[in-house]
Amino acid sequence: MKATIYDVAKEAGVSIATVSNAINGKGKISKKRREEIFKIMERLQYQPSVIASALTGKKTFTLGLLIPDISNPFFAEIARAIEDEAHQSGYSVIICSTDNKDERVERYIALLESKSVDGIIIGTGIDNMDILSQLQSRSVPLAMIAREASSLAVDTVVADDFVGGVLAAEHLVSLGHKRLAVLSENLKVSSSRERIRGFRQGLADVGVSFDDNSIVICEYKVEEGKRGALELLQRGGERPTAIFCCNDLLAIGAIQAAKEAGVRVPEDLSIVGFDDTILATVTDPPLTTVAQPMEHMGKLVFKLILGHLQNKDSIRQRIVLRPELTIRQSTSHVAGEA
Amino acid sequence: MKATIYDVAKEAGVSIATVSNAINGKGKISKKRREEIFKIMERLQYQPSVIASALTGKKTFTLGLLIPDISNPFFAEIARAIEDEAHQSGYSVIICSTDNKDERVERYIALLESKSVDGIIIGTGIDNMDILSQLQSRSVPLAMIAREASSLAVDTVVADDFVGGVLAAEHLVSLGHKRLAVLSENLKVSSSRERIRGFRQGLADVGVSFDDNSIVICEYKVEEGKRGALELLQRGGERPTAIFCCNDLLAIGAIQAAKEAGVRVPEDLSIVGFDDTILATVTDPPLTTVAQPMEHMGKLVFKLILGHLQNKDSIRQRIVLRPELTIRQSTSHVAGEA
DNA sequence: TTGAAAGCGCTACCAA
DNA sequence: TTGGTAGCGCTTTCAA
């Protein structure tokens, strides 16, 4: 069987209390004992049981990460950053892909709670914010990434989605586009709403009109984006000359839709994405997109929630990172312009 | 504070043993008591602590998943499949991105063991197989996915990498290619070795010669693939007319290298990838690649390891899935042929 | 059918 | 400096 603290204590001829102290650097222990104990631990291949210590000490050194889908490169990259940072502090992270379904969110949260995770990082869209406020009232440390829960006092790291939207609008306008459309995922996702609001504002600022009918909503998958874009392209009336997509996956769908509809990108249709995942660099044409500093965001949320874990009454922070426009080849001057 | 089994027992006027039995469906309990207890649990929002029950010798319902990098779409998709399947059985999965570094593998394994995970699924390349055999000798349930550890008796799910290599070779040869090259990640990854072996065999079968110097090894990142492909393209002597890349990421690197070197794909250079991740569908041109049934593989490993957890002496299985060639537009007849 | 009590491995507090 | 010991929340005999 695996060695326990008792085995070590017996072997060293001391009490388990002393071994525990040695391990945790508590109390005073003579150097000699200390070294002796460590040597024995090594010989016995002793590894303290996090489970047992969690039952007393309280921490499990495990975090839950709620995201829509780990197979979405945006979240995979964020997850990687969080994981790296967490691992350095001895934390593990449990991934929970929710597909933005409240029902899954609730199941996962219950599971995470029963496993006594030390905190939960949330990057998933949630309809019913009560779920979160309940969590908070049960004093489970929370942090949000790439999503906002403005009704809650909770540590948050987001890119400035509004500014991102503005950036996209400005870019498109500067290329002479006047007939714009938007492809967005479910509006229950706060970041999507902000992006659209920013996009609108960016257009309004320079007097370009924008019609609400030009917004198409769909799920966050490529397939859906394609369907949505197709709808936009096949509508009666004048076709938009540019589409702002609320994430790279949808932008890819739009590119595919354009291909299928025989519309050239960027000559006949400019497309702007959001996120700047690895996908944006490999598409045909490479995607002009609003870049979020994913790695940085991931590392930051972990630091935030860690601060929270170490110091119960550390002050809540909301960190907003500025996105940047990465111009590639999916956007160009509107046809007929200089 | 969170409700405990004591609170429920007190409220119900029974002993904790009875509550425990009710929860776990053990022993005999009168229906009346049973229902009463459940009602109280609900009212108190009682959730049994997995931690505490794990300490009593039961399971933690947590699995570790070792992969090279969760931000690699291939592993992200596999992780998603495993996660879904696991969640259905009440299991959580902790992701561990190792970058194929033994040092990281060891750190993660130690962490997972100290957290008493019920099992570990391994999809990462490992140099020192002793790490695994030690794990096994400590009787930690193991399962491999997309990797082999032939020296160990362990549940395994892989695509038939050898056949995949053959498929790629046959396809290229059928297009008239004779000067072939290979771009592979580190050969310590068993699957890469097999793919190359299959590729070779496929060529040999039809009498096309292949020179070991045409194999370039690099890390698994796009950047590295690009560098490697560039080397291949800029060598003196005749340029290869086709490159077989051991995964999609490298294939993308190769596409980028070709662009940079002014070599057209597929007219001047055909490229075949491996995996068929989402990336393959969006590249320019879309990638011809050997498809692995990722979702299926993920679901299968979980089932395998679960069987192992539920029935200690379930027999070891090695499941080999047949890959398929997905032909897109990165391959074509060699220039000058019909 | 139900309950009392002995742990599981570890931490923390109080004595020695 | 050290050790004894009371839990942490739950499972599991063994009796009642």
A333 vs B1: which has the higher pLDDT: A333
Q: Give me the sign of the Cα torsion angle A142, A145, A147, A151.
A: positive
Q: Which of A305, A297, A275 is nearest to A287 (CA)?
A: A275
- The predicted structure's pLDDT at residue A336: 64
Percent of chain B with pLDDT over 70: 99
CA neighbours closer than 13 Å in the CB half-sphere of residue A125? 16
Residues with Cβ < 8 Å from B277, sequence gap 6 or more? B73, B74, B77, B248, B294
| Residue B47 backbone phi and psi in degrees, to 5 | -130, 120
In this structure, are residues A145 and A298 in contact, taking their beta carbons and an 8 Å threshold?
yes
Round to whole Å and give the CA distance between B64 and B98.
Answer: 12
Residue A214 DSSP label: G
B226 vs B220: which has the higher pLDDT: B226
Alpha carbon separation from A269 to A240, A291, B184 (Å, rounded): 7, 21, 38
Residue A79 DSSP label: H
- Nearest-nucleotide field for B2 (CA, C1'): D9
In this structure, are residues B101 and B131 in contact, taking their beta carbons and an 8 Å threshold?
no
Closest residue of chain B to A222, computed from CA coordinates: B278
Q: What is the average per-residue pLDDT within B107-131?
A: 95
Residue in A93, A222, A281 closest to B95 by CB: A93
Q: Is the pLDDT of residue B216 over 90?
A: yes
In this structure, are residues B132 and B102 in contact, taking their beta carbons and an 8 Å threshold?
no
pLDDT band at B61 (very low <50, low <70, confident <90, very high): very high
CATH superfamily for A161-292 is Response regulator (3.40.50.2300)
- Nearest-nucleotide field for B57 (CA, C1'): C8
In this structure, are residues A173 and A208 in contact, taking their beta carbons and an 8 Å threshold?
yes
pTM: 0.94
Q: Cβ atoms within 10 A of the Cβ of B230, count? A: 18
Query: How far off is chain B from A207, nearest CA to CA, in Å?
Result: 35
Q: Which of B36, B86, B40 is nearest to B63 (CA)?
A: B86
Proximity of residue B25 CB to strand D below 7 A: no
Domain with CATH 1.10.260.40 in chain B: 5-48
Question: Which H, E and C letters describe B59-124, residue by residue?
Answer: CCCEEEEEECCCCCHHHHHHHHHHHHHHHHCCCEEEEEECCCCHHHHHHHHHHHHHCCCCEEEECC
Count how many pairs of residues, chain A against chain B, have C-beta atoms within 8 Å.
Answer: 141
DSSP A14-46: S-HHHHHHHHHT-S---HHHHHHHHHHHHHTT-
Round to whole Å and give the CA distance between B64 and B142.
Answer: 10
Q: Mind listing the pLDDT tens digit for each residue in B259-308?
A: 999 999 999 999 999 999 999 999 989 999 999 999 999 999 999 999 99
Residue corresponding to tokens 């040869």: B173
| B252 neighbourhood in chain A, CB within 8 Å | 282
Q: What is the average per-residue pLDDT within B146-161?
A: 93
The one-letter amino acid code at B318 reads R
- The predicted structure's pLDDT at residue A337: 47
- Nearest-nucleotide field for A114 (CA, C1'): D9
Bases of strand D lying below 7 A from some protein CB: 1-5, 7-13
- The predicted structure's pLDDT at residue B249: 95
| B284 neighbourhood in chain A, CB within 8 Å | 282-286
Domain with CATH 3.40.50.2300 in chain B: 55-159+293-321, 161-292
Q: Cβ atoms within 10 A of the Cβ of A229, count? A: 31
Question: Would you call B96 and A83 a contact, using CB atoms and an 8 Å cutoff?
Answer: yes
Q: Which of B280, B315, B307 is nearest to B294 (CA)?
A: B280
pLDDT band at B311 (very low <50, low <70, confident <90, very high): confident
Proximity of residue B207 CB to strand D below 7 A: no
- The predicted structure's pLDDT at residue A189: 85
- The predicted structure's pLDDT at residue B287: 98
Q: Which fold has domain A5-48?
A: 434 Repressor (Amino-terminal Domain) (1.10.260)
Q: Is the pLDDT of residue B139 over 60?
A: yes
Cβ neighbourhood burial of B249 (10 Å; 0-12, 13-18, 19+): buried
Residue A322 DSSP label: P
Q: Which of B15, B45, B39 is nearest to B27 (CA)?
A: B15
- The predicted structure's pLDDT at residue B338: 44
Architecture of the domain made up of B55-159+293-321:
3-Layer(aba) Sandwich (3.40)
Q: Note the CA–C1' distance, B17 to D16, in angstroms.
A: 14
Query: How far off is chain B from A212, nearest CA to CA, in Å?
Result: 30
Proximity of residue B6 CB to strand D below 7 A: yes
Per-residue pLDDT of chain A (338 residues; tens, 9 = 90+): 689 999 999 999 999 999 999 998 876 778 888 889 999 999 999 999 999 999 997 799 999 999 999 999 999 999 999 999 999 999 999 999 999 999 999 999 999 999 999 999 999 988 899 999 999 988 899 999 999 988 899 999 999 999 999 999 999 999 999 999 999 998 888 899 999 999 999 999 999 999 999 999 999 899 999 999 999 999 888 899 999 999 999 999 999 999 999 999 999 999 999 999 999 999 989 999 999 999 999 999 999 999 999 887 789 999 999 999 999 999 999 876 44
- The predicted structure's pLDDT at residue A18: 93
